[in-house]
Amino acid sequence: MLIDDGLRFAARGYDFSASMWRRARRGARAVPMQLLWREALFVRGADGVDVFYDDRLVARHGAMPSIVQETLFGHGSVHSLDGDDHRHRKATFVDVAYEDAQVERLTPLLEREWQAELADWIAGGRRSAYDAAVGALGRAITTWAGLPGTAAARTRWSARLAQIVDGFGAPYSPAFLQAQLNRAWSDRHAARLIEAVRAGSLSAPPGTALAEWAWHTNRDGALLTPHLAGVELQNSIRPMVAVARFVAFAAKRLREQPEWRGRIAAETGERGSLVGGPLALAFAQEVRRVSPFVPMLPGWAIADVELDGQRVGKGGRVVLDILGSNTDDESWARPGDFDPERFVGVDDYEALRAFVPHGGAEVRTGHRCPGEKLALAGLSAAIAVLSDPRLTVLPQGLSVNRRRLPTKPSSGAKVRAAGTGGRCPFHG
């Protein structure tokens, strides 16, 4: 503990979690650490999730380093709130994104955009799975949110949002500086949309994210500032764009799992739809379980916290090991195996306490992401497309840098029409 564990995390990236648990006895649920020169407790598994999301023990406000919080989520966003203020604003996110009717509104848009990407690949298109997903998911979610603009404009804003996700985890790097610039542009643009709706010069369809955030009020009845309303508008659409990283991981896994690729292709053909196939959904869940995305989440201990014989005092940090919980030996059978079969027939995935790719606890009262259903719809549609036998995922560029946060297959997973070998059929 002579070296702060924050420095170890910066050096080891996604392998930091495993190095932490080597300090503890086998099966431990908690291990002491020192984070930013402050006492902390690193927790995992169902018990760790329960402790981390117990708002009598742990608060989120101010726990995330501000340089990360304000670049990725935005200043004053719901992610920084606790208690009644959090529950009040979270209720609007639930209305906007979690209700089944909202998912049903998105489904035909995903179908349209992914069919277009499939047709482009078959015609010789050369976008990676990641780049195609940024465009398809971004155009679908911005249309769903009620935002104006041409398809090209939607694609450009989606690329900005994707770059914010790509750059936020590497402070002071060129990618981080670009993310800050894109954040500033997106904040201005979103605030102008809010102002236009309030002024009556832009129509916002009822029930859309644009309408809900334009007229959302705090508990005291006051409208959010245009800037903050725009921040939450972005927090309603950016997570779907971030799913593009899972799409790249899914493409890699589909290349490695030809049997599953065949099963999903058959299912898609039988259903006549890209969205919501049970096998594609199971594959999507397993991709989310094992793919390195958000490695951990910090909180403040607002009371003394004890777990599995370890303790951190009030004022220390509690850190939830996201990846370690999703691959925990005590919570999962054969956690190191990629096996989508474990999710076949599992409808209530929120009941799996150690399954926290988008946060844990209750959606309505806790910090679990209300957009998970939307994310699953978008990812399962991508998996259905990538399973099409007319396409192939190239083997080049599928390595993953586990020290880089966030990460993905280095090429974004190159996709080509089957039989072209990745080369132009006319010019080699």
Identify the CATH number of the domain defined by range 65-289+353-417: 1.10.630.10
Residue 83 scores a pLDDT above 90 = no
List Cβ neighbours of 219 (8 Å cut-off, separation of 6 or more): 84, 85, 88
Q: How many CA atoms lie within 13 A of 61 on its CB side?
A: 10
CB atoms within 10 A of CB 84: 9
Tens of pLDDT, residue by residue over 11-39, are 999 999 999 999 999 999 999 999 988 89
What is the phi-psi region of residue 58: left when phi exceeds 0, alpha when psi lies from -120 to 50, beta otherwise? beta
Tens of pLDDT, residue by residue over 283-308, are 999 999 999 888 999 999 999 999 99
Report the pLDDT value the prediction gives residue 424, as an integer from 0 to 100. Answer: 41
Alpha helices in 170-225 (DSSP H): 174-199, 209-214
- AA letter at 252: K
Residue 169 scores a pLDDT above 90 = no
Residue 1 scores a pLDDT above 60 = no
CB atoms within 10 A of CB 423: 9
Nearest to 351 by CA among 339, 341, 360: 360
Residue 223 scores a pLDDT above 60 = yes
Strands 296-301 and 310-312, how do they pair?
A: unpaired
Tens of pLDDT, residue by residue over 256-270, are 999 999 999 999 999
| Confidence bin at 65 (pLDDT 50/70/90) | confident
Residue 71 scores a pLDDT above 60 = yes
- In DSSP terms, 43 is beta-bridged to 30, 320
- In DSSP terms, 321 is beta-bridged to 296
Residue 423 scores a pLDDT above 70 = no
Q: What is the dihedral of CA 375, 187, 365, 89, to 10 degrees?
A: -130
Tens of pLDDT, residue by residue over 307-345, are 999 999 999 999 999 999 999 999 999 999 999 999 999
Q: Report how far residue 419's alpha carbon sits from residue 409's, in angstroms, rounded to the nearest whole number.
A: 22
Report the pLDDT value the prediction gives residue 60, as an integer from 0 to 100. Answer: 84
| Confidence bin at 64 (pLDDT 50/70/90) | confident
pTM, two decimals, is 0.94
Residue 427 scores a pLDDT above 60 = no
Concatenating the DSSP letter of every residue in 365-405 gives: TSSS-TTHHHHHHHHHHHHHHHT-TTEEE-STT--B-TTSS
Average pLDDT, the chain: 93
Domain ranges in the chain?
65-289+353-417
| Confidence bin at 84 (pLDDT 50/70/90) | confident
